A and B are shown apart, each in its own frame.
Chain A
């Protein structure tokens, strides 16, 4: 960053600063002339959208924190005061609350884009793994943030999720007591969750920095999944992609603003407007929509795994569900090695293309199942069996289909370069 040749800037002040701290040179190199594949489609907008959302969440969160009190006696009322009395408080809270949902909409599309076009493959493995780390941090941050208003879903969602750790053999109970700072989710839990909810976004920011750094080392993947071979395949980032990203961001913000102003509570659960009560469990505990697919996988495991014909249980149903849920995300870390097929983009892999689109439907279906009551039935069949089948497909895709396809799938014929592919179509 510090060395290398530097071009002079016309503005003398800019040049004076740049000579001492080459920040303008850095920006010019990484965001001005940065060579970017010229065939991006709109799926490549979500990186910029996510960066924007992270800033929105940090800024609105900072101002909400100035009006919030992390105490079980006061938290619910503090949030209601923000909604009713603080100037513009309702707007800040609705931006922040729905911002979490839109953050997850964007990140899910961003992740699926990466999977569909093979962006996780060499040389972008570290870039991909950093993305998985960011996603896990986002999930943690969103979960503890949902606890802060101290409504019924806050308390009981926190109770269910922290209890997952009690499934860990031997030390589970101690870990849960340590997380709670007591014998149930209570004031000590709320105060530490607030502290962490303030901290984690900055940790995310730091990992995002590494993620973008890694991206700028390898360069972006593209819808064809073939490497850029020279200037004929690329465009400078500015103005071409600054414009395209801005346009995509505006479309995204229109949808986001529509929800903030017209349906601000449609993505939440009404029970969270009831103050937390440790003696009454809501009839139907559901996490926020963005956790539902994983919640469905957790609930799908209702059987113990043990030594056949004995009572010896090796993995209880509870531990099994927890393992399945966490593995469903951690499996993404090894995705670059599960799928070693030389072709990146699904566009040139007919079988992979169909299977990953089925995976998308499967994942959405899991989300649908996660919102059902535990004892619901479809066509007289308990909903758990559907959850189990959908979970099975999810893991089969990663653990069986991808390795097998890596060896056997015959790809479609690939164009020799990005330039020839896009110009032959008349662009």
Chain B
């Protein structure tokens, strides 16, 4: 009687010891893996390339320039009067990613947005006035047919979000700092 009780007690202790030992082993393995996984994150030199200054004085009305920032294209578009009006007159509640044009620009004539389709990362066409700009006059992604308007907002197609607006500031009337 006491023998079996002793045995059961021992087994419980042993189970506990095994579980805690295995648990600590697992914690140790995760702790050892963490720095390895973290090494895959952007390195310091990659992060250091995070701001650029662009002279925008040479961009004619109706055209854009594509600049390279953090390995990504950024569209700087000098919008025409009609394009600004079109962007401002849109009924925001009908958009899939609801943003007014005012929220997306600092100066109405300059739209600055990251030129990466929010669907799967292609570069939309439409920066040059000779390229197809889609049904809303902004950009058209050649990969899966997402249409963006003159504010870089998604209007039609598989992309879920508007073209993101990077952090930027106008250093002067002709120079903008992105990042």
Judge whether A318 and B158 touch: CB under 8 Å: yes
In chain B between 54 and 78, which residues have their CB closer than 8 angstroms to a CB of chain A? 66, 68, 70-73
Closest to A176 in B: B121
Judge whether A281 and B122 touch: CB under 8 Å: yes
Q: How far is the CA of A156 from the CA of B141 in the complex (A)?
A: 13
Among B72, B143, B145, residue most surrounded by chain A Cβ atoms (within 10 Å): B143
Judge whether B121 and A318 touch: CB under 8 Å: no
Judge whether A317 and B42 touch: CB under 8 Å: no
Judge whether A374 and B71 touch: CB under 8 Å: no
Knowing A281-B142, A317-B158, A318-B158 touch, does A182 contact B42 (C-beta < 8 A)? yes
Judge whether A283 and B158 touch: CB under 8 Å: no
Q: Which residues of B contact A8 (CB under 8 A)?
A: none
Q: How far is the CA of A302 from the CA of B160 in the complex (A)?
A: 10
In chain A between 168 and 207, which residues have their CB closer than 8 angstroms to a CB of chain B? 177-186, 188, 192
Whether A160 is near chain B, meaning CB under 8 Å from some CB there, is yes
Judge whether A160 and B73 touch: CB under 8 Å: no
Judge whether B121 and A160 touch: CB under 8 Å: yes
Closest to A317 in B: B158
Q: Which residues of B contact A186 (CB under 8 A)?
A: 46, 71
Whether A375 is near chain B, meaning CB under 8 Å from some CB there, is yes
Knowing A184-B71, A317-B160 touch, does A374 contact B145 (C-beta < 8 A)? yes
Judge whether A192 and B158 touch: CB under 8 Å: no
Determine chain B's interface SS by DSSP, over half rule.
loop
Q: How far is the CA of A282 from the CA of B123 in the complex (A)?
A: 9
Closest to A167 in B: B160
Q: How far is the CA of A160 from the CA of B146 in the complex (A)?
A: 14
The residue from A278, A321, A375 contacting B73, defined by CB atoms under 8 A apart: A278
Whether A234 is near chain B, meaning CB under 8 Å from some CB there, is no
Closest to B67 in A: A279
Knowing A182-B71, A278-B73, A374-B144 touch, does A318 contact B40 (C-beta < 8 A)? no
Whether A284 is near chain B, meaning CB under 8 Å from some CB there, is yes
Q: How far is the CA of A180 from the CA of B159 in the complex (A)?
A: 21
In chain B between 26 and 40, which residues have their CB closer than 8 angstroms to a CB of chain A? 37, 40
Knowing A281-B143, A374-B144 touch, does A181 contact B120 (C-beta < 8 A)? no
Interface size band for B = 20 to 34
Q: Which residues of B contact A184 (CB under 8 A)?
A: 70-72, 116
How far in angstroms is the closest Cβ of chain B from A92? 30
B87-100 interface mask toward A, CB cutoff 8 Å, 1 = contact, 0 = none?
Answer: 00000000000000
Judge whether B123 and A281 touch: CB under 8 Å: yes
Whether B41 is near chain A, meaning CB under 8 Å from some CB there, is yes
Among A192, A282, A317, residue most surrounded by chain B Cβ atoms (within 10 Å): A317
Whether A101 is near chain B, meaning CB under 8 Å from some CB there, is no
Interface size band for A = 20 to 34
Q: How far is the CA of A117 from the CA of B101 in the complex (A)?
A: 60
Whether B5 is near chain A, meaning CB under 8 Å from some CB there, is no
Q: How far is the CA of A159 from the CA of B121 in the complex (A)?
A: 6
Q: How far is the CA of A160 from the CA of B117 in the complex (A)?
A: 10
Q: Which residues of B contact A164 (CB under 8 A)?
A: 120
Judge whether A283 and B142 touch: CB under 8 Å: yes
The residue from B41, B68, B159 contacting A181, defined by CB atoms under 8 A apart: B41
How far in angstroms is the closest Cβ of chain B from A278? 6
In chain A between 312 and 355, which residues have their CB closer than 8 angstroms to a CB of chain B? 316-318, 321
Q: Which residues of A contact B121 (CB under 8 A)?
A: 159-160, 162-163
Judge whether A192 and B40 touch: CB under 8 Å: yes
Q: How far is the CA of A186 from the CA of B49 in the complex (A)?
A: 13
Q: Which residues of B contact A283 (CB under 8 A)?
A: 142
The residue from A163, A183, A321 contacting B72, defined by CB atoms under 8 A apart: A183
How far in angstroms is the closest Cβ of chain B from A43? 36
Q: Which residues of B contact A317 (CB under 8 A)?
A: 158, 160
Whether B43 is near chain A, meaning CB under 8 Å from some CB there, is yes
A387-404 interface mask toward B, CB cutoff 8 Å, 1 = contact, 0 = none?
Answer: 000000000000000000
Q: Which residues of B contact A375 (CB under 8 A)?
A: 145
Whether A299 is near chain B, meaning CB under 8 Å from some CB there, is yes
How far in angstroms is the closest Cβ of chain A from B45? 10
Q: How far is the CA of A279 from the CA of B142 in the complex (A)?
A: 13
The residue from B43, B66, B142, B160 contacting A284, defined by CB atoms under 8 A apart: B142
In chain B between 115 and 168, which residues have their CB closer than 8 angstroms to a CB of chain A? 116, 119-125, 141-145, 157-160
The residue from B46, B119, B145 contacting A188, defined by CB atoms under 8 A apart: B46
Whether A285 is near chain B, meaning CB under 8 Å from some CB there, is yes
Judge whether B120 and A178 touch: CB under 8 Å: no
Among A156, A177, A281, A299, residue most surrounded by chain B Cβ atoms (within 10 Å): A281
Whether A307 is near chain B, meaning CB under 8 Å from some CB there, is no
Closest to A183 in B: B70
Judge whether B71 and A278 touch: CB under 8 Å: yes
Task: Report the 8 A-B pairs with minimum CB-CB distance, sorted nearest first.
Answer: A184-B71, A183-B70, A163-B121, A160-B120, A281-B123, A281-B122, A159-B121, A163-B120
22 contacting pairs across A/B (C-beta < 8 A): A159-B121, A160-B143, A163-B119, A163-B121, A177-B41, A177-B42, A181-B42, A181-B43, A181-B46, A182-B42, A183-B46, A188-B43, A281-B125, A284-B142, A285-B143, A299-B144, A302-B157, A302-B158, A317-B160, A318-B159, A374-B143, A374-B144
Given A181-B46, A185-B71, 10 new contacts (CB under 8 A) = A163-B119, A163-B121, A177-B42, A183-B72, A280-B123, A281-B123, A281-B125, A302-B157, A374-B143, A374-B144
